[in-house]
C-alpha cells in the first residue's frame, strides 16, 4: 500500500507537521524517496532534508527566509508496504501518482511536458531504485497511449531527479538527473569510485562533474565517508551547495512554468554548466562565504520571505511542539509503567489469595498497604 505524506506548518493538533494526502495536486512538488520507505522516521526525516536542500526553514536550519507556510512547492514523502499483487514501490508510485498526472488519454506534447515539470524527485540511497522502477512503468504506459519514442524522451526529461549516495546506475534514466556521491562512502564504493578518486586527485578542484548522457551526470567529491544524507547537507560538505543548486534550480523552474504561459523546459546542460562554473569557487572561498552568497542570491519566483520576527515565532512554535511531543511520550510511558506495576501487584495478590489461608492472606495484604478494598474487607 502506497501512502503519500505532505509537510505542513506545525501546530498543537499536528506537532509533527505531517499530513497524509489522498491525491497529489497538479502543482510543483518535491517528492523525497527514502531507502527505508516503511519507517516513518526515515520517511518524514527525508522530507525535512528535502526542505533544507531547497533552503526552506526547518527545525535544523533557518535558511534565507522561506517557510513552508507560504511556499509554492509541496514537500512530499512516501511510504510503501508490499501488497498481495507484489507490485513494487516504484510501480505503485507510477500508477497512483505519475500516471494520474499524465491522464488517461494522449495529450498535446506541450501540455504533458508542463504536467511533468511539476515533478521534482530527491532520492537517497536505494530510494533511487524506486524512482527508476516508476519511470520504467510510466514509459511503458506512454507507449501504450501511442506516444513516440521522441515524445517520451522529451516528456520524461521534464522530471527532475536529484539522486544522493546511491549505487544505482542513473545513466539510462530519461529524467533530467544529477547524482551526488561522496567517493569515500563505503556503502557505495566500487572499482568505479576508485577510478573517480584517481581522476579527482589530478584535478585542481575539490569536486568534479562526470556527464553520463545528454540529460544525466554525476557530481562527485571526497567527503567524510559517512553514509548519511545529513552528512551531505552539513555546511562543511563539498557537496552541499551544488546539491542545493540542483534542487533550487529545478523547483524555481517548476514555479515559473506554473505561474506563466511561457514554458521554459528543464535542461540538463543549464544545470551542469552552473555546477561546472561553481567548481573553482570551492578552492578560493570558504564554505561559510559560499553558503552566505548562495542564500543571498536565491530568489524563488513569487515566493515571499518571512520576516526575522516571523522566523523567531515559527522557531518557537517548533520548540513548543517538540516539548509537547516529549511530554506526551512521558505521559504514555508513565501510564504504561503504572499499568505494568498494577498488573504485577494484581498477580501477586492472586497468588497470595490462592496459596495462603484467608486470615494470613488478609494480614499480608493489609500490612502491604492498600489492598483491603480488593479483598472486600473493612
Q: Residue 289 is part of a domain; what is its CATH number?
A: 3.40.50
Average pLDDT (38-43) is 82
Query: What residue has cell string 494480614?
Result: 363
User: In whole angstroms, what is the distance from residue 70 CA to residue 67 CA?
Assistant: 6
> DSSP state, 70?
G
Domain identity same for 136 and 237: yes
Q: Is residue 311 part of a domain?
A: no
Place of cell 512503468: 137
How many helices (H) and strands (E) the chain has is answered by 15, 9
Q: What angle (nearest 5°) sits at the alpha carbon of residue 125, between those of residues 121 and 127? A: 50
Q: Which residues lie across from 28 on neighbouring strands? A: none
- Cβ-proximal residues to 44 (8 Å cutoff; 6+ apart), any chain: 5, 16, 18, 77
Query: Do 282 and 323 belong to one domain?
Result: no
Look at residue 73 in the predicted model and tell me its pLDDT. Answer: 97
Average pLDDT of the residues in 285-309: 92
Query: What mean pLDDT, rounded, does the chain reach?
Result: 90
Amino acid 4: pLDDT: 95
Domain boundary pick from 258, 276, 303: 303
Least confident piece of the model among 191-205, 240-254, 263-277, 345-359: 345-359
Answer yes or no: is 43 within a domain.
yes
Query: Is residue 310 classed as helix, strand or coil in its secondary structure?
Result: helix
54, 299 Cβ separation under 8 angstroms: no
In degrees rounded to 5, what are phi and psi of residue 123? -115, 150
pLDDT at res. 377:
46
Residue 309 lies in a domain: no
Q: What is the mean predicted confidence (pLDDT) over 362-367?
A: 72
Q: Is residue 314 part of a domain?
A: no
Share of the chain above pLDDT 70, in %: 96
Mean pLDDT of 42-51: 93
Of the residues 303, 334, 359, which one is the last residue of a structural domain? 303
- Verify that 181 and 42 share a domain, yes or no: yes
How many residues does the structure list for the chain?
378
The pLDDT confidence band at residue 369, using thresholds 50, 70 and 90, is low
Does residue 249 have a pLDDT over 70?
yes
Shared domain check, 17 and 68: yes
- 324 and 188 in a single domain? The answer is no
Q: Domain for residue 100, yes or no?
A: yes
pLDDT at 337 (0 to 100) = 85
Any domain includes 312: no
CA quadruple 84, 85, 91, 96: dihedral positive or negative? negative
Same domain, 253 and 347: no
Picking from 268, 303, 338, the residue at the C-terminal end of a domain is 303
pLDDT tens across 127-160, in order?
999 999 999 999 999 999 999 999 999 999 999 9
Query: Per DSSP, which regions of the chain are E strands?
Result: 2-7, 18-21, 29-33, 74-80, 119-124, 160-164, 176-182, 207-213, 216-221
Q: Residue 59's pLDDT is what?
A: 87
What is the layout of strands, in order, in the sheet containing 216-221? 18-21, 2-7, 74-80, 29-33, 119-124, 160-164, 176-182, 216-221, 207-213
Q: Quick one: how far is CA 184 from the chain centroid?
A: 23
| Residues 351 and 286 reside in one and the same domain | no
On whether the CB atoms of residues 52 and 243 are closer than 8 A, the answer is no
Q: Among 68-77, 121-130, 319-328, which is the least confidently predicted range?
A: 319-328
Q: Domain containing 95: what range?
A: 2-303
Query: Residue 308 falls within a domain, yes or no?
Result: no
Reported pTM: 0.86
Tally of domains in the chain = 2
Q: What gap in Å lies between CA 125 and CA 282, rounded to an integer?
A: 25
CB burial of residue 339 (10 Å; 0-12, 13-18, 19+): exposed
Query: In this structure, are 292 and 165 located in the same domain?
Result: yes
371 within a domain of the structure (yes/no): yes
Rounded Cα distance, 340 and 140, in Å: 55
Residue 57 binned pLDDT confidence (cut-offs 50, 70, 90): very high
3-state class (DSSP) for residue 178: strand
| pLDDT single digits (tens) 176-225 | 999 999 999 988 877 778 889 888 988 899 999 999 999 999 999 999 99
Mean pLDDT to the nearest integer, 359-370: 70
Closest CA to 101 of 80, 122, 79, 116: 116
Q: Is 44 helix (H, G, I), strand (E, B) or coil?
A: helix
CA distance 294 to 358: 81
Kindly tell me if the per-residue pLDDT of 378 is higher than 50: no
Residue 368 pLDDT class (50, 70, 90 cuts): low
* Residue 324 and residue 286 share a domain: no
Specify whether 180 is located in the same domain as 276: yes
State the Cα–Cα distance between residues 200 and 50, nearest whole angstrom: 28
Which of 221, 209, 208 has the alpha carbon at shortest distance from 182?
Answer: 221
Residues 249 and 339 in one domain: no
Instruction: Provide φ and ψ at 239, rounded to 5°.
Output: -100, -10
Reported as half-sphere exposure (CB side, CA atoms, 13 A), residue 242 has a value of 33
Identify the bridge partners of residue 119 per DSSP, sorted by sequence position: 29
State yes or no: pLDDT of 294 exceeds 80. yes
What is the bridge-based pairing of β-strands 18-21 and 74-80?
Answer: unpaired
Same domain assignment for residues 326 and 282: no
Amino acid at each position: 500500500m502506497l501512502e503519500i505524506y505532505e509537510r505542513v506548518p506545525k501546530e498543537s493538533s499536528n506537532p509533527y507537521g505531517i499530513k497524509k494526502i489522498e491525491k497529489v495536486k497538479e502543482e510543483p512538488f518535491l517528492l523525497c524517496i527514502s531507502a527505508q520507505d516503511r519507517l516513518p522516521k526515515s520517511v518524514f526525516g527525508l522530507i525535512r532534508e528535502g526542505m533544507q536542500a531547497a533552503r526552506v526553514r526547518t527545525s535544523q536550519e533557518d535558511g534565507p527566509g522561506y517557510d513552508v507556510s507560504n511556499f509554492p512547492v509541496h514537500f512530499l514523502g512516501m511510504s510503501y508496504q508490499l501488497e498481495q499483487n507484489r507490485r513494487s514501490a516504484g510501480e505503485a508510485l507510477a500508477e497512483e501518482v505519475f500516471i494520474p498526472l499524465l491522464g488517461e488519454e494522449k495529450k498535446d506534447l506541450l501540455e504533458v511536458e508542463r504536467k511533468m515539470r511539476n515533478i521534482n524527485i530527491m532520492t537517497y540511497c536505494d530510494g533511487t531504485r524506486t524512482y527508476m522502477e516508476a519511470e520504467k512503468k510510466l514509459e511503458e504506459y506512454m507507449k501504450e497511449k501511442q506516444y513516440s519514442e521522441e515524445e517520451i524522451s522529451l516528456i520524461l526529461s521534464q522530471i527532475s531527479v536529484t539522486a544522493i549516495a546511491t549505487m544505482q546506475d542513473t545513466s539510462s534514466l530519461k529524467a533530467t538527473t544529477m547524482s551526488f556521491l561522496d567517493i569515500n562512502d563505503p556503502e557505495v564504493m566500487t572499482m568505479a569510485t576508485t577510478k573517480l578518486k584517481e581522476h579527482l586527485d589530478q584535478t585542481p578542484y575539490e569536486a568534479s562533474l562526470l556527464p553520463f548522457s545528454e540529460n544525466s551526470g554525476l557530481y562527485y567529491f571526497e567527503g567524510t565517508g559517512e553514509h548519511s544524507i545529513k552528512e551531505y547537507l552539513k555546511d562543511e560538505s563539498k557537496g552541499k551547495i551544488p546539491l542545493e543548486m540542483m534542487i533550487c534550480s529545478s523547483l524555481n523552474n517548476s514555479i515559473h512554468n506554473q505561474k506563466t504561459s511561457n514554458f521554459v523546459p528543464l535542461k540538463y546542460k543549464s544545470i551542469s554548466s552552473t555546477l561546472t562554473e561553481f567548481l573553482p569557487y570551492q578552492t578560493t572561498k570558504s564554505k561559510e562565504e559560499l553558503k552566505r552568497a548562495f542564500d543571498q542570491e536565491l530568489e524563488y519566483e513569487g515566493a515571499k520571505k518571512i520576516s526575522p520576527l516571523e522566523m523567531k515565532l515559527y522557531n518557537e512554535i517548533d520548540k513548543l511542539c517538540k516539548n509537547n511531543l516529549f511530554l506526551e511520550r512521558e505521559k504514555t510511558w508513565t501510564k504504561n509503567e503504572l499499568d505494568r506495576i498494577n498488573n504485577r501487584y494484581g498477580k501477586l495478590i492472586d497468588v497470595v489469595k490462592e496459596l495462603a489461608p484467608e486470615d494470613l492472606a488478609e494480614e499480608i495484604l493489609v500490612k502491604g498497604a492498600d489492598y483491603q478494598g480488593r479483598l472486600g474487607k473493612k
